[in-house]
Every structure is written in C-alpha cells, then in structure tokens.
Structure 1
C-alpha cells in the first residue's frame, strides 16, 4: 500500500480560537490539544484516503510559556512565544501545551496514539537527531543525559554529547552572545550551534536556539573521520554515547505505539548511525516507517547524493525536494511543465522512494496570496495531481491544505510570510471552519474550500490504484512538443509550457494523467497524442481503446481509435487548474 500521510500539527489543528493577535499568548490565541484530535476527526481523515498520520510538534520543546512545575525558557533561546518544536527540551516527554492539563499530557498522548490505531492510521512523530535546545534536559530514570560528564574546554571527544567552542573559535568569547542577548547556561563556555556554526556569536540566520549533537566523529574533519565510526552490526556497548541515547529514544516511543518517524535534517547525521539505528528499530518493530527530511546541501555527511545514501541506510522514503521546488518554480521562476520530464529522468530513485508534497510546515502555503505567484487556489488541483501521481512513493498533505489554508492567521516570530507559523500560538482559519467546534464536517465550508476538500477526497484514494501505487512511469510531453494542440500559446513554437501528461502502468492497468497547470488559460482544444511506442510499452494493442474517468466516475466511458490517439490525439479540454485521470484499456 502506498503511504498517504496527513501532517497534523497538534498545536494548530484543534485550536478553536480564531481571533488572536500577533505575538499573542496561549491564553489570547488558544492552542490545540491531544484531546482535540477526536475519534470523529481521525475517522474523517482516514475516510479521505490517508494511511499514516504525522503528529507534528509533539516532543517537549523550549517555550516562553510556563506551566506549574515547568518553568519557561529564556527569551534569548526561544523563537516565538510557543517556541520551535525542533528545539527539543526533553526527548522523553511531550509538550505540556498540548495536554488538557500539563500533568495529563503523556496519558492524553498515549490515548491519541490508540485512537489513531483504532481507525487504521499509523501514527508517526518527529525524530530530531541533529540538535537539541540549548536548555535541553531529560528526567527519564536511568537515562544518560547529553553533555553529562563533558569537558567544556575540548572541542571534540567521541564520548561527549556536544562540540565545545574554544578560545580559537570565531566570535571572541566566552560568553556566548545570541541575537537576543546572553544565555545563563553558556556564560563560561559555549557550544556549537545546530547548523554547524562554530562561533561565539551566531546570528539570526543560524539555528541559534539549538546546539549540535556529537555522533562520535569530528564533523570538521569530514570523510576520514566518518570512516572511523562503528558499522551497523556493532553491539550497543561499542558505539558512541549519542548513538546509545538515540536508540533509547527510538525504543521509548516505539514502546508507546509510534509506528514510524519523520527524521529532521537526516543528511546531517552519519549514515553509519542510521544503518545501525534503523536495523535495531526493525528488530523491535519490523514494519517501522522511517521518512527522511533531507537535502543535497553543504550540511550533508556524504560526498554524493545524501538521499540515495539514506535509502541505502534503511529509510523507507526521502523528501523529494527537487520535485517540490520545480512545481513551485513553474509559478515563480518561469519553468515549464516540460521540465518535469528532465527531472524525472535524472532522479529515478524518487519514483519509488520520494516523498511528494506541495506543502509542509517549512514551506509556504500554496493558497497564500503571497506565494506561488498568487495563483494557488486555481492551480492546486492540477499541480498536486501531477506531483502525487508521477511517483509511487509516499505523499504528504499538510493540515489545512485540503481546504485552501492561506496562512493569514496571527503570527509573531514567524511573521506573515506565507507560512503558518510553527513558532507562535496561531490557528488555521480555513480548517477551523471544517473543525466546526468539534463536529468535523463540511457544513460550514465555503464553496471553494468544500470543492477543494472533495477533490482531495477523490484523488487520494486513487493513489492506491495498481498503476499509481506500483506502476512504471512514461512521460508524454516529449511526444507532444510539436503538437500545436497540446496547450500551445500563440507566441510559442514548442508545446508543453502549461500542460503535462503521463502514463502509469502496472500489469494490466494503465492510467493516463493530464493536467492544465495554467492559472488563466482555458485549453478548450487540447489534444494528447500517445505514440505507438507508448502503446507497446503498456501492452494495449487493440484498435479500440477504452478511457474511463477515475476522478469523476459519473461520466460515461469513451472509446477511441488507437490510430487516432497516435495521430491527432485524445481531445480532452481543460480549464485552468483542471486535471484528467483516465484508466485506459483494450476495448
């Protein structure tokens, strides 16, 4: 089964307060809770075709909000009032903001995990292995803490939890000087910042609220140091301390029913650790799901493509960031639909293992008026269909995407930048209309939001179709570049600017997907040519070809002459943002 993942940011999802203010407190702006994700909500999510649910922002993290017995962290090491969920304060605890009462938070989280399982959703959570909050603490009995026993004057030692700044480190310290002031915990020593910034004075572009964890090798020494790490068969007592603690963390959450992990910035962690840790996790739960957020950037620990290395280390799937960026660049940088052919040919590993998405918590909302060229609501159905249907790996939908969330709620540290802030107490106005005070139904949605949610509910189950789940890929744009009726504008001498078409095939199942990515142009005379080679590839040899609409099953089947499809093509008019998903078969 193809994983279809719903990213549910707990702090936002069930927040019923829709009239907050910028930089508002929890009391002013409200906050979602574990209990707010009810049985009814989960049943409706599962009914849309989701198989997994990524419970985001669950781990206890640094915050400026105090609770009884749980003091707030200093402003200098917290981004926003609520705080970043990726500045983890305690790996063995959950965010007290998310409990109906702080002391009930863990029991309510366990109950939520059971509710997910009861409706058939596999619960996932974040695993943030590269860095922790500067105020990190852990009170799990019998557990070694990061940094315990470290020499604060030694930059690197294999058994230390952190990397420590020295008198030779840039920035003229101590003390550590952060963008918003000093931090009492690092007045006489300092630690390397989470994004590998070796400086006594990290700036606002750094992950200044976090410290980098030490996996037993000096990251400044590069590949030679990585080669000295233990291999994946090493017993637990023979690996670095951080490896042992991370294994305890994964085991702890697996024991509470978590079925998988979205691993933050996975390319920054040694592949030797991943292979070791994932193998141990699969001894505990053979079908545990590991999904990597990873990018081919300067932070990677491999000389080549880190995404391929992560898959070889045991990950089920890796973010397909290139596909996301190309989709967005069609509307912001002038890319053409034809460019997807080149992308898909150059990265075959993503066909099977790439996590396809058009939104997540790091990216701008497609329907934000200041993102995606301001075209999002029109083009979202077409672009998401292209992105999801062109692969056979997992797909990801961020809560609110399904109703056209615009990221116009109160902000704060996150600002008003087209994203729903993960740093602040805020809400999801479009989604809250569906939440409807806990009823979780579409009765209050406006027409646009209701149509978009219905589109998601039609498309997502189709991803389990054999051709879209397991099928091979055949791009059709190359065969239509000279086809003047393939969405060509008058001033263009090549087709394929706004229209993309593909075939997916598995065994006896063939699906044609075509989308109009234009936000404004009605291609009323669109024709898609399917060459002889494509018919040979998918095994359709009869003169008559049947086309059945999978998205809108109310329509009748259509019959075409195969020779006509190879010559003039299939007539399939599309308005802006419209798509067709057709099952082709011999007739």
Structure 2
C-alpha cells in the first residue's frame, strides 16, 4: 500500500536519541524468549505469480486467461532450490483472503463488487476475510485452508520458515468473514454507526452520507465489463477510507477500496486516544495473529504498521510471543523519527530500511546516477545503534525493479547495489522473486500499469522469472548464460553475508571520509589517488577480523588506493603494521598484498590498499595476515 500513501512527506532531521542495549528488544529474557541471533535472508514472492507457467500476458486478463500460481504449485523442488539459494524465510505475499473480481459463488463465497476492487485479481492489501486464505491460491477451493497448512508444513520440512502479511490498518470495503470461529464477532458487527467515532467501534463512520465510487473508475479496463460493474457500491453510512480520508467520495488516488480500522484514536478529535479500557479492535486483531501463528506461521510482515498506534503493538506482540516465542514481527515503516518507538515500545523485531539505506543507494544505481556518499553515510549513522534490527532490500512489491527502464535499466547494477545493502548491517536481507534473474517488469499488466513494478493487482506471467521456473522444474533451465551468472552472484553473496562472522555480526566502519577529497585552506585536496564519486567503500569488523566492501557503480573500471585509518585497525584489534593479504570472498578479483603501515597515511596519494575493480561490480575483501 505504500506507493499510494500520498498524505505524508517525511523529513528526517538529525540522528535522534541513541539507543542503549537496555532499550532494544533482542533478549526480552523476562519473557523467556529470544529472536534469532543470526543474519537472516528473506525471499518475498507474490504467491499468485511465483509458480505460474502460463505465458499469456493479456491486459486485464482473467485467472483463466493469464493463469495463476497456487499453494500446491510451490513444490518441494521449488523450496529446496530456494533453500540452496541461501534463503531462511519465505514471505508468502497475498495469502489472506482479499477482494477479487473472480467468481467463487459456486463455493459459497459471495462476489466482491468490482467497483471497489483494484485489478482483476485484486489487491492483497484489501482483506475480505482475516480468517481465510485466498481461493485464488487453491486447487481445491473448499480445502483451501488445508492446502495452505500443507504449504506451511512443506516449507518447514525443507528447512525454511514462513512469513505472511498482517494488514492491520484497513480492510476491503466488502469485508465479511465467513471462516471466522463461531465465537468471533465480525468487524463492525456491534458498531454504533450513527457516530463518527466511538472507542469500541471497529470502523469510523460518516453519518448521513452514502459512499461514492470515484468518478471515472473502470474496474477491468475499457475493453471488458465485469458482472456487477455499475459505478456504485452501497455503503450507508459511508465508512472512512483506509488512508484516513474522511470523505464519502474518495479520489482515484486514495485507497478507496478499503476502510480504516479504529484502534481507539479519535482522528478528527485531535487524535485523542482512548486505550483504557482496551479497545474492541485490539482484541480482535490480536486473536487474528494468534490464529495464523497456530497454523505454524513464523513471522508477520505488518503492512503500514505506523498507521496503527504503537501502543497496540506493544500490547499484542508480547501476547503472541508468549505463546509462540519464535514468531518475528517486521514493521513496514517510513518515519525514521518513530523507529526507536516501534522497536522499544512496539516490540517489533525488524523495521523496513526504505527511508534511509534504500533511498541512499538507489540514486547510485539509476540510469542517470546521482552520487552522494554523505547521504549513504548519514543513512547508516541514523540507525547505527540498532542497525541489526533494520531490514535491507533493493526490491519488493512496492518498489521498481532494478532492471526496469525507470530505475537502472540494467540487472547487473544489482551487483554493487545488493553487495552494499546486504553487507552493511547485521540485520536481515530481503530479495524479491525474479530480482536474481533480472526481471524488468516491462509492459502494462492491467491496474498495475507500466510502472516498473511487477503487478500485485493482476493475473500475469512474470517472463524472466518463468525461465527459472522452467515449467515447474525450478532449475533455471531456460535462463540465458548471463542470467545464470547473475543468479550465481546473488547466491554467493547471500550465502556469504550470513555465514561470515564479520558480515553477519560485525560492526561497520565507513571509509569514504578517509579517502575522498577534502577542503583544506580553501583548496580541495585529494586523500587517495583514483577514489571517485561512484564508489562506496566501508569495512565490517570483529575482534581480529576486517572485511572491506568495495562497490563501483560507475560504468568504467577504476583503480585507486583505499586508505584504512589507524582507528579501524585499533577497533578491530589488529596491528597497523606488517604485511597483509586482501582476498576477494566473491572470487572475482586477485589477491592483493599490502603493507598495513602504508594504508594509514592520510594525504599520501598512493598509500593504501591498491584496488582495481571493473565497471558496475563489487568486491568483498577479507584481510588476512600474510603467511
């Protein structure tokens, strides 16, 4: 939902207060559980697209026309291949039942009104039934929950863990749970609809109004008319729209297909809170989390978590973890000033690092790059006290594909980019299906449009990824040699960053300021010969171990000397003297022998580790004592 969230522009000023170890949630020993003490790799798949072998790509095509991937299509073979690739968790996106234009009435599932559904398949973030899975994903629709449970068991059997979305801020306009336990009262079932706000209402209302579908909305494209499409949706009184729009007539740019959930915050009343007694919505949403954890789900990626009060998370997450200690919680969050609060008070394990790491690295990768090493450094500085709780990525369902024409237009730009984001922190790393083979997300799929993103709204075949799927063999048999090399790079990188102690657990030391030109006495003075704008360099270190990460985003090869300040040697508890060997752990570049004493001289141009690196490439050097 993030790319439609147009209400707030976030401006990050300063570093904010530092976190101490006592502030952070890693141990929580008083509750008797701990999260994983290792760097984890998360693989996000759009479940309905992942194993689809249908190569039709009909604009606004139906499920029958363009095909769909189902739970049973994600086989042991596919899961083993992902495990071998280095994956620890799979984020199955779009599992919980959401509004769709497909007809499942023969199974007792009412039709969703297409006038409040985005795309033929529908948005996975417009939940129709929190207690059910999408019938789109089942071969045997009446047994769809059994098929999902089998997928969870199959995933675990292959040594992998399961993450699903939890969408707490909003639901589909036509929300009605058919699968809920008998003792559960449905959302809105006991609401007072004659008031805008009541602490125990599940929704917000606009008394005396009727919801209006945005003018000009064409649910399935101008060439197709869907049953029930009439430009109307009966909702009296109108409910408040998911992105906090208090209007019965939301715009096309709003989340008009969703309604906002009420957690006891009087939004129109100065955001005054009513958290005592515990709001009705809190208990309902906690119970939904417990329900899915009982299926064996190992983690929740919490959609737009910051639109839900942090007090709810701090109340609900410990209750889930008390019963299921291993379950992790990931917050989709874009407000850096709230990071500390959502880790400490909200008890999240991990936070999205979009506003920061992603936004600082992406400009280096663009077709027309903008190199800003200080932006990268400050992005790290602002989270350095809790960087092991930051989730790094370059692609997900909200962001442009690296290979898309609007981003880098070159899948190989993922080599320097992914090397940086995967190795800069000890926190988790995420990769999006098809990223590893250079999927460009070209063409108009339907509601998704030609926006450089793989659609989450439509039925579609993902062409470059399908070459790896290879008719269900999941062996990359149809990939080009270039794609096989790209995928091999990603595999080596992911396996390396989670296994090497300095990369998985070490501390970060930025090397840019020790190597780039500085201003002195009104003159620009270079510190290292050849160190250019499009290079990012930093060290990760532990006691007795230094690893150098060097990424060249420029389209030309570079030769330069990389300074290693004396303070880095001291931090790593290594002597800044004697002969050392730098060995590229990615295996692309020859070993480098150097004299440590000659790496610390700040203004001697040819002092440092002599680096030669090709265009659009990266190296990860382990510093070893020369035998």
Q: TM-score, normalised by structure 2?
A: 0.85
Structure 1 position 427, deviation (Å): 1.9
Q: 1:142 aligns with which of 167, 183, 186?
A: 183
Moved more, 346-355 or 189-198: 346-355
Residue in structure 1 matched with residue 49 of structure 2 by the alignment: 12
Per the TM alignment, residue 350 of structure 1 is displaced from its structure 2 partner at its CA by: 5.1
The correspondence of residues 16-165 of structure 1 with structure 2, limited to 5 A, is 16-67=53-104, 68=106, 69-139=108-178, 140=180, 141-165=182-206
In the alignment, the residues of structure 1 paired with residue 80 and residue 527 of structure 2 have an alpha-carbon distance, to the nearest angstrom, of 44
Match runs of 1:120-519 below 5 Å:
120-139=159-178, 140=180, 141-167=182-208, 173-179=209-215, 180=217, 182-186=231-235, 188-222=236-270, 225-226=272-273, 228-230=274-276, 238-296=277-335, 305-312=337-344, 313-321=346-354, 322-330=356-364, 331=366, 334-349=370-385, 351-372=387-408, 374=409, 376-408=410-442, 411-464=445-498, 465-482=500-517, 495-518=531-554
Give the drift of 1:557.
Answer: 4.7
C-alpha spacing 1:23/1:384, structure 2 compared with 1 (3 Å): same
CA–CA distance in structure 2, aligned partners of residues 314 and 348 of structure 1: 18
Q: Sort the Cα spacing of 1:284 and 1:487 in 2 relative to 1 into closer, same or farther, 3 A.
A: farther
SS at match of 2:90: strand
Structure 2 unpaired stretches of 5+: 1-37, 218-229, 518-524, 602-606
Moved >4 Å (runs of 4+): 483-488
SS at match of 1:113: helix
Q: Distance in 2 between matches of 1:100 and 1:402?
A: 28
Determine if contact 2:206/2:248 at 8 Å carries over to the other structure. yes
Aligned to 1:572: 611
Check the 8 A contact 2:56/2:460 in 1, yes or no.
Answer: no
CA contact (8 A) 1:338 1:496 kept: no
**Secondary structure at 1:437's aligned position in 2?**
helix
Paired residues of 2:543 and 2:573 also in contact (CA < 8 A): no
| Distance in 1 of aligned mates of 2:557 and 2:412 | 12
Between 407-416 and 51-60, the greater mean CA deviation after superposition:
407-416
Cα deviation, residue 531, structure 1: 1.7
Measure the CA separation in 1 of the matches of 2:516 and 2:89. 39
After superposition, the C-alpha distances for 1:366-415 in whole angstroms (9 at most, x for unaligned) are 1112223x3x3231100111111111111110101011111025500010
Task: Answer yes or no: is 1:549 the counterpart of 2:573.
Answer: no
Alpha-carbon distance, 1:333 to partner: 6.6
Superimposed CA distance per residue, residues 149-186 of structure 1 (whole angstroms, 9 cap, x where no aligned partner) = 2122200001111000135xxxxx43434343654331
Please tell me whether the aligned partners of residues 434 and 443 of structure 1 are also in contact (alpha carbons under 8 angstroms): yes
SS of 2:72's partner is coil
Contact 1:485 1:526 in 2 (8 A): no
Distance 2:232 2:623 in 1: 64
Q: In 2 relative to 1, CA 345–229 (structure 1 residues): closer, same or farther, beyond 3 Å?
A: same
On the 8 A contact 1:540/1:586 being kept in 2, the answer is: no
**What is the CA distance between 1:199 and its match in structure 2?**
0.5
CA RMSD of aligned residues (A): 1.9
Is 1:560 matched with 2:588?
no
Cα distance 1:329–1:131, how it changes in 2: closer, same or farther (>3 A)?
Answer: same
- Alpha-carbon distance in structure 1 between the residues aligned to 2:469 and 2:200: 48
TM-score, length basis structure 1:
0.91
Tell me if structure 1 keeps the 8 A contact 2:438–2:483. yes
Q: Secondary structure at the match of 2:400?
A: coil
Shift of 1:444: 1.9
8 Å contact kept, 1:410–1:427 = no
Does the CA-based 8 Å contact 2:211-2:239 persist in structure 1? no
Matched, 1:536 2:564: no
Query: Conserved in 2, the CA contact under 8 Å of 1:337 and 1:496?
Result: no
Do the aligned partners of 2:357 and 2:379 also contact (CA within 8 Å) in 1?
yes
Q: Assess, with a 3 A threshold, how the Cα gap between structure 1 residues 247 and 536 changes in structure 2: closer, same or farther.
A: same
Q: 1:299-354 CA distances to partner (integer Å, 9 max, x unpaired)?
A: xxxxx822221111211100011211122223267242343112212332452211
Structure 1 portions without partners, runs of 5+? 168-172, 231-237, 297-303, 489-494
SS in structure 2 at match of 1:535: helix
Deviation at 1:62, TM superposition (A): 0.3
Any conservation in 1 of the 2:165–2:301 contact (CA below 8 Å)? yes
Match of 1:234 in 2: none
| TM-aligned CA distance change 1:53 to 1:573, over 3 Å | same
How many Å separate the matches in 2 of 1:436 and 1:163? 48
Structure 1 residue 217: deviation in Å? 2.2
Paired position in structure 1 for 2:34 = none
Cross-structure match for 2:620: 581
Q: CA–CA distance in 2 between the matches of 1:334 and 1:350?
A: 27
In the alignment of these two chains, the number of paired residues is 554
